[in-house]
């Protein structure tokens, strides 16, 4: 039996009880606080994940490089998972999960980049170079997800092949 | 023989309980992005949790006091209330992340969307916390958590670039393609994930539940020294496996699937299955610890009866808090918030709250009125003081890094 308020404490003074703890109504943790907590957390997660303004060409170039880098990572995960499946070393549900997440991440990267306003003509040109491989990657990842979910190995290989082109372009834009 | 079994299980428990969703995610991401260059953060945090875990265990064994008792006594009721509020918020977020981790792991095994697994994971966690004995609970998830050793096996089985990994580990610096601030964000996150406060709350309260005494000090020390050390080996193995397999493939980590990939690449479907079992065990066990530690700290602050070994009618507030925190945690994941992003935010916030938890432990561990001749010696104080400085610096840096890097993007 353990009693939090009265367990043995040899050679020590008794713990102070919180002032007027007995007089207060009992606290009901989480009941009223849950919506507040969820709201605050949503704000925090949104704050750290939101897309900020890009006022200069340099900042826009940096964001473009970040988008290209992120997309290279997403494609890399999907390719590795699919190749592992095709080699018979992973299960279909597992690969489906990884590729589906990659597809969602890719769509998010594209949306986040496209939501930025290019600051001038140089930004327009950069956007023109980055958008096609981003679009192609998202499309190929969708094809890959469909193929993996159907267990269509030939279609999965074709989708992997379709990712090669955008990947090379994005690697160049990411500075790799 | 019985004592030997107890010691062995204690060590296994510590290993299994050390790794949770925070360790899995931060180790995987760090490995894929920075190679082995952040190994030092895990090593540093492991020594810190060993030093402070041993102090917390000693205080529990000799004085019969839990960490939150010392927090309330040394910080006073008002500041302890701030600590309680922060710990409660962090525990809810951590619990949500752990429930999300269980659900994501089950998605990897089944292909069924993780949101459908979330209510089941929450309900199962409540059922285990309610019905399964403390000892059995620790042993089962501790032992199953050992399946994460599959990442060591994957490193051993694969054509690993050992010289590259070791070179990266002993030359800690951000790779040229990665930002310094992001590297530091993950250093703080790895540190925060290893010394997360709920662990010491659970550890010391569990000690009281198991009636630790001065005779158990050797067991307490073995649990902390060996268990936490081996637990950190698991985290490092996950990081190195990600560095060895994911980084060359330019693969990034945005979920638990990518963290498991090295096991599949090196060991095939069996390795993958074992890794997923390890993920479920680690996140489920950590979820139980988080839920129970929430009940512990609430009851210890307000002076209510508490104890996993007590019947609910003997400690009704404890049972109600456990149930409520599980309901809130489950509801939070069901809002469709991304469990991985939630994990990253939570470990950074945990890092920010560290000094308030660990400072009182250091003070009480030096109090002869509480521990008699068992107070800290100079070496423990040097280590404890040094780590308190590190904890404070990490705590101060955590929030600015979280916002500046947009949670490590």
CA dihedral of B55, B59, B61, B66, whole degrees rounded to 10: -110
Instruction: Report whether B273 contacts B56 (CB < 8 A).
Output: no
Euclidean distance between CA atoms B261 and B252, whole angstroms:
11
pLDDT at B326 over 90: yes
pLDDT for position A94: 97
pLDDT for position B8: 59
Determine, for residues B272 and A90 on separate chains, whether the beta-carbon distance falls below 8 Å.
yes
First CA to last CA distance, chain A: 62
pLDDT for position B145: 84
Residues 93-122 of B with CB under 8 A from A: 93, 107-112
Instruction: Work out the burial of residue A148: count CB atoms within 10 Å of its CB; fewer than 13 is exposed, 13-18 middle, 19 or more buried.
Output: buried
pLDDT for position A19: 35
Determine, for residues A79 and B251 on separate chains, whether the beta-carbon distance falls below 8 Å.
yes
pLDDT for position A10: 34
Euclidean distance between CA atoms B334 and B22, whole angstroms:
19
Measured between beta carbons, the chain B residues lying within 8 angstroms of A42 are: 335, 337
Chain B residue with CA closest to A32: the answer is B328
- The upper half-sphere exposure of residue A6, i.e. CA atoms within 13 Å in the direction of its Cβ, equals 4
Smallest Cα distance from A152 to chain B, Å: 16
**pTM of model > 0.95:** no
Q: Given pLDDT bands bounded at 50, 70 and 90, which one contains residue B220?
A: confident
Q: Which two tokens stand for residue A40?
A: 């605050």
Place of tokens 């007590």: B310
Measured between beta carbons, the chain A residues lying within 8 angstroms of B269 are: 88-91
Determine, for residues A15 and B265 on separate chains, whether the beta-carbon distance falls below 8 Å.
no
Place of tokens 């945690």: B329
pLDDT at A47 over 80: no
Place of tokens 């930025």: A116
Which residues neighbour B203 within 8 Å (Cβ) at sequence distance 6 or greater?
Answer: B53, B56, B57, B60, B67
Euclidean distance between CA atoms B406 and B280, whole angstroms:
28
Q: In this predicted model, what pLDDT tens digit does every residue of B274-304 receive, in sequence order?
A: 999 999 999 999 999 899 999 999 999 998 9
Euclidean distance between CA atoms A12 and B185, whole angstroms:
41
Determine, for residues A34 and B328 on separate chains, whether the beta-carbon distance falls below 8 Å.
yes
Size of interface A-B (CB pairs under 8 A): 202
Residue B90's closest CA among B222, B198, B203, B248? B198
Euclidean distance between CA atoms B205 and B60, whole angstroms:
8
For residue B123, give the 3-state DSSP assignment. helix
Residue B14's closest CA among B147, B143, B207? B143
Nearest to B324 among A31, A45, A89 (CB): A31
Nearest to B257 among A50, A74, A101 (CB): A101
Nearest to A48 among B294, B296, B345 (CB): B345
Euclidean distance between CA atoms B7 and B9, whole angstroms:
5
- 3-state helix/strand/coil string of chain A: CCCCCCCCCCCCCCCCCCCCCCCCCCCCCCCCHHHHHHHHHHHHHHHHHCCCCCCCHHHHHHHHHHHHHHHHHHHHHHHHHHHHHHCCCCCHHHHHHHHHHHHHHHHHHHHHHHCCCCCCHHHHHHHHHHHHHHHHHHHHHHHHHHHHHHCCHHHHHHHHHHHHHHHHHHHHHHCC
Q: In this predicted model, what pLDDT tens digit does every residue of A52-61 receive, in sequence order?
A: 555 788 889 9
Smallest Cα distance from A150 to chain B, Å: 13
Instruction: Give φ, ψ of B111 to 5 degrees.
Output: 85, -5
pLDDT for position B258: 97
Q: What is the mean pLDDT of residues A156-165?
A: 96
Bin A53: left if φ > 0, else alpha if -120 < ψ < 50, else beta: beta
Distance of alpha carbon B228 from the chain centroid? 10
Nearest to A2 among B73, B257, B306 (CB): B306
């Amino acid at each position: 039996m353990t009693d939090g308020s009265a367990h043995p404490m040899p050679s020590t003074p008794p713990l102070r009880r919180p002032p007027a703890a007995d007089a207060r109504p009992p606290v009901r943790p989480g009941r009223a606080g849950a919506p507040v907590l969820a709201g605050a957390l949503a704000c925090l997660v949104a704050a750290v994940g939101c897309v900020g303004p890009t006022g200069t060409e340099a900042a826009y170039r940096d964001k473009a490089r970040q988008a290209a880098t992120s997309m290279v990572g997403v494609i890399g995960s999907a390719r590795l998972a699919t190749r592992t499946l095709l080699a018979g070393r992973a299960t279909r549900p597992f690969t489906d999960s990884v590729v589906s997440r990659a597809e969602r991440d890719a769509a998010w990267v594209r949306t986040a980049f496209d939501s930025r306003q290019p600051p001038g003509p140089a930004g327009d040109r950069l956007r023109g170079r980055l958008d096609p491989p981003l679009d192609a990657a998202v499309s190929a990842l969708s094809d890959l997800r469909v193929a993996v979910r159907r267990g269509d190995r030939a279609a999965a290989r074709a989708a992997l092949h379709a990712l090669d082109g955008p990947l090379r372009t994005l690697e160049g834009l990411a500075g790799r | 023989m019985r004592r030997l079994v107890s010691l062995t299980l204690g060590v296994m428990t510590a290993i299994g309980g050390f790794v949770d969703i925070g360790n899995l995610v931060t180790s995987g991401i760090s490995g894929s992005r920075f190679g082995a260059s952040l190994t030092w953060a895990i090593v540093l945090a492991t020594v810190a949790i060993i030093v402070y875990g041993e102090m917390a265990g000693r205080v529990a064994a000799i004085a019969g006091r839990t960490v939150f008792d010392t927090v309330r006594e040394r910080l006073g009721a008002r500041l302890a209330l701030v600590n309680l509020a922060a710990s409660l918020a962090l525990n809810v977020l951590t619990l949500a992340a752990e429930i999300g981790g269980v659900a994501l792991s089950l998605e990897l095994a089944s292909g069924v969307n993780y949101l459908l697994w979330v209510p089941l994971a929450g309900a199962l966690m409540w059922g285990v916390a309610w019905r399964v004995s403390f000892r059995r609970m620790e042993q089962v998830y501790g032992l199953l958590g050992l399946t994460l050793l599959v990442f060591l096996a994957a490193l051993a089985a694969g054509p690993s670039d050992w010289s590259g990994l070791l070179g990266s580990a002993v030359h800690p610096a951000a790779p040229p393609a990665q930002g310094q601030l992001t590297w530091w964000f993950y250093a703080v996150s790895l540190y925060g994930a290893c010394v997360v406060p709920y662990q010491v709350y659970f550890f010391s309260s569990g000690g009281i539940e198991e009636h630790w005494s001065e005779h158990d000090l050797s067991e307490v020390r073995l649990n902390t020294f060996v268990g936490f050390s081996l637990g950190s080996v698991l985290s490092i193995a996950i990081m190195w496996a990600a560095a060895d397999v994911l980084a060359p493939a330019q693969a990034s980590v945005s979920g638990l699937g990518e963290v498991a990939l090295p096991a599949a690449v090196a060991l095939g479907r069996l390795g993958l299955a074992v890794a997923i079992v390890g993920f479920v065990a680690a996140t489920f066990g950590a979820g139980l610890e988080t839920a129970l530690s929430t009940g512990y700290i609430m009851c210890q602050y307000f002076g209510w009866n508490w104890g996993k070994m007590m019947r609910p009618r003997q400690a009704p507030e404890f049972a109600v808090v456990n149930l409520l925190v599980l309901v809130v945690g489950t509801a939070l994941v069901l809002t469709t918030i991304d469990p991985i992003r939630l994990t990253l935010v939570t470990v950074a916030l945990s890092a920010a709250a560290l000094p308030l938890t660990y400072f009182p432990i250091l003070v009480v561990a030096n109090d002869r009125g509480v521990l008699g001749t068992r107070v800290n010696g100079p070496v423990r104080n040097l280590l404890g003081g040094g780590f308190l400085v590190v904890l404070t610096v990490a705590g101060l840096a955590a929030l600015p890094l979280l916002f500046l890097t947009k949670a490590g993007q």
